[in-house]
Structure 1
Amino acid sequence: MEFKEVLDALDKIEGKMSETAASNKERLDELGEQQRKFANQLLDLQQKGVKVQGEKTEAKSAGDQFIAADGFKAFAAGSTQKTRVELSETFAKSEPTVLNPITTPTGGIIQAYRRPGIMPGAFRPLTIEGLFPSLPISTNSFEYVKERDDGFANGAAFVAEAAQKPFGSTSFETVTGTVKTIAHLARVSKQLMADGPALVAYINQRLVYGVDLVVEDQLISGDGTNQNLTGIFTTGNFTPHGATTADLPAKNATLFDLILFAKTKVEKAFFRPNIILLNPVNWSQMLMEKNASGDYYLGHPASVAPKTLWGLPIWTTPAIPQGKFMVGDFTQAATLWTRQGMTVELFEQDVDNVQKNLVTIRAERRLGFGIERVSALVGGDLALPAAAGATGK
């Protein structure tokens, strides 16, 4: 019995003894006996308290509690395959403080709060492939019949009644291309696939992005040799602008004039230009251009200039080499031939995957690219010809 309970009992007995002292001697003797009993208990508790204060209190640690638990003993004896022990916090009898608090370990054992998802690296926007029409094919090669640039002889003419009608002629050439394979591989553990499906999905996304990134670079600058596509900036696949000082204003010629000249050259070839391709750095330099009075040609710093020149939208992408540009009718210039779209596959049977519990992931595409109308693409160096003026260099 605790001190407070004993003291309260003694107070009650003393009160009752005072009330019944004069009227009931027998009841008084009974209460006296109870008083002596509680007094002895109080003395015994006081003696024990003095003894406890002189001794060092030993409390079981969390580890001691764990190994002393019945569940752990059963696990250690092999009678169960798992165990769960709920640990309790032990208090000293002398003071209400925790002796073995179960706290968060330091040193990074317990991870801090982790933001959901994955913080991705930078992805370059892919825009070039969407410029060209795409046709599906079911063979490993493709062909198209192309009219020769000098192959059309127009014989149409007005003729008199009953006179001989004139003939015209057109010559063609057959162009053959082959389908190329673009692939990307990665290996992940089977445990990762089970424990981190979001991480695996992100890996898949990176593989797919890697394939499409290579395709875009090839559409721009592939040299067409071996397993490479042939790109629109490769010599022979576009028409150089060929601007001279005579083609541009004699005074204060700018890069804007050069782009207009290229646009006009596409139109002279009977195509309809729809896009201007530029590197972001070159577009930024053009936004900085000022006239002789110091005024910006395109807007001003307090506003965003529309990405258009001479009525055509500007498409900026790092895929375009810095210092180059192109104006074109891209819907008429070339075709993307798709043999197999993007495919992602997983393989367990690959090299030593089975031994190491790994899975191989493969992303793959098969496609070809044919540039059919070179005169629909006009571009080249984004630089003024010599002596055309210093502005816009």
Structure 2
Amino acid sequence: MSEVNEILKKVTASIEEATGKFNAKAEEALSEAKKTGKLSAETKETVDKMASEFNALKEAEKTLKSALGELEQHVAQMPLANAAKVTETIGHVVINSEALKAFAASVEGNKRVSIPVNAALLSTDVAKDVVAPQRLPGIDTAPKQRLFIRDLIAPGNTSSPAIFWVQQTGFTNAAKVVAEGTTKPYSDIEFATKITPVTTIAHMFKAAKQILDDFAQLQSTVDAEMRYGLKYAEEQEMLFGDGTGVHLHGIVPQASAFDPAFTVEHQSGIDDLRLAMLQAQLARFPASGHVLHFMDWAKIELTKDSLGRYILANPSALTGPTLWGLPIVETELAAFKGKFMTGAFNAAAQLFDREEANVVISTENADDFEKNMISIRCEERLALAVKRPEAFIYGSFSAGS
């Protein structure tokens, strides 16, 4: 900074010298005009040139003073150590500028010059926030898998820690035509009592109190991400929970294995799903939907006939995915790759919410108060009752599908 001030002093001295010369020449021109009544061409040209150079010097001085003033003001607002470091870095760039050297070396250089300092301001050895970064709107959140099972299953609520229910396990139909006065046959219906405990699904998150106070959008994002994480774990449990410990007893472990009543020639995935519907129908629970991996559904949609025409898909149509009159639900779960599940989701299973998903924030967990941190908890309590396991058919697609 001292070197920059020295150059500014030299420029100011040059201006003072030029001012004296310009004033002397102006008086000489005035005397000439009084004597002859006009100025000679030579005198006029000299005065005009001096006036041009004088104005250039004044403009250059103004530019240097303005730039130096802004720099001093900016540095004054920074911590002392960082200010000294930034001043040294920027001053080095300014002093070593070829444009400034030419400016100080000759009268021709006495013009407005632009000395780039962005490289210094953005260098790695300069304190952050010297140059404000551009802020992009919003928060770039991670992509999420589409949730679906909860929407297919019949909803319910409970105020108890467990669900007690009665399941019909068998029915022997002995009904037939009988003659007058003869004994009527007895049919047999079997029942079993079931108790489904309520399970808690939860997770925690730590955050600085100031961050969530200052950025409302960040708080809403944390809330949404925690709810999504909870629902994702819920999906896993509803599908694959093994029923041990506190786990839900999911649908897949209880579902009936795919066992088609018959097979067809060149059996494909399209045929498999229709035969699974038939198996559910034979169990007296007509299917209400199919669940399969999104890659397997893509293969089915791209199935073509011998002429290269799509059998199911219409690339120009925007209708939702359906097959055999039932909705197709695509999943990204790896366990479903090459497999499918067809069933009466709305009639054969029910989900009971004891406590719906909620997010709670506390500053009194562990040493949160001392460290100005907050603990965020997201949890829910629910129970899943698969009332008719035979209504769900789970299996693998035929080879070549």
What TM-score results when the alignment is normalised by the length of structure 1?
0.70
Structure-2 change in CA distance of 1:67 and 1:276 (3 Å): closer
**What displacement does 1:261 show?**
1.0
SS in 2 for 1:285: helix
SS in 2 for 1:233: helix
Structure 2 equivalent of residue 55 of structure 1: none
Of 309, 330, 349, the residue aligned with 2:323 is: 309
RMSD of equivalent CA atoms: 4.1
**What displacement does 1:67 show?**
11
Q: Which has the larger radius of gyration?
A: 1
Find the aligned partners of 2:328 and 2:68 in 1 and give their Cα distance. Answer: 71
Q: Find out whether 1:107 has 2:123 as its counterpart.
A: yes
SS in 2 for 1:226: coil
Q: Structure 1: 5+ residue runs without aligned partners? A: 20-48, 53-57, 77-91, 385-391
Q: Is the 8 A contact 2:167 2:387 kept in 1?
A: yes
**What displacement does 1:170 show?**
2.9
Of 365, 368, 372, the residue aligned with 1:357 is: 372
Q: Is the 8 A contact 1:136 1:337 kept in 2?
A: yes
Of 153, 159, 168, the residue aligned with 1:138 is: 159
The number of equivalent residue pairs is 330
Identical pairs, percent: 24
Of 245, 260, 268, the residue aligned with 2:282 is: 268
Structure 2 equivalent of residue 324 of structure 1: 339
What is the one-letter code of the residue matched to 1:227? Answer: V
Q: Find out whether 1:256 has 2:270 as its counterpart.
A: yes
Q: Find out whether 1:127 has 2:148 as its counterpart.
A: yes
Find the aligned partners of 1:68 and 1:255 in 2 and give their Cα distance. Answer: 71
Find the aligned partners of 1:218 and 1:371 in 2 and give their Cα distance. Answer: 13
Structure-2 change in CA distance of 1:6 and 1:208 (3 Å): farther
Structure 1 equivalent of residue 395 of structure 2: 380
Q: Is the 8 A contact 2:259 2:279 kept in 1?
A: no
Structure 2 equivalent of residue 338 of structure 1: 353
**What displacement does 1:318 show?**
1.1
**What displacement does 1:265 show?**
1.4
Structure 1 equivalent of residue 300 of structure 2: 286
Find the aligned partners of 1:141 and 1:106 in 2 and give their Cα distance. Answer: 62
Structure 2 equivalent of residue 184 of structure 1: 203
Find the aligned partners of 1:65 and 1:291 in 2 and give their Cα distance. Answer: 78
SS in 2 for 1:139: coil
Structure-2 change in CA distance of 1:9 and 1:208 (3 Å): farther
Give the structure with the higher percent helix. Answer: 2
Structure 2 equivalent of residue 117 of structure 1: 138
Q: Deviations over 1:23-49 (max 9, x none)?
A: xxxxxxxxxxxxxxxxxxxxxxxxxx9
SS in 1 for 2:252: coil
92-101 or 218-227: which moved more?
92-101
Q: Is the 8 A contact 1:144 1:175 kept in 2?
A: yes
Q: Is the 8 A contact 1:222 1:229 kept in 2?
A: yes
Of 204, 208, 213, the residue aligned with 2:223 is: 204
SS in 1 for 2:218: helix
Q: Find out whether 1:277 has 2:291 as its counterpart.
A: yes
What is the one-letter code of the residue matched to 1:106? Answer: L
Q: Is the 8 A contact 1:222 1:228 kept in 2?
A: yes
Q: Structure 2: 5+ residue runs without aligned partners? A: 1-15, 38-53, 58-63, 81-102
SS in 1 for 2:201: strand
Structure 2 equivalent of residue 219 of structure 1: 238
| Structure-to-structure mapping, 1:157-196, within 5 angstroms | 157=177, 160=180, 168-196=187-215
Structure 1 equivalent of residue 83 of structure 2: none
Structure 2 equivalent of residue 43 of structure 1: none
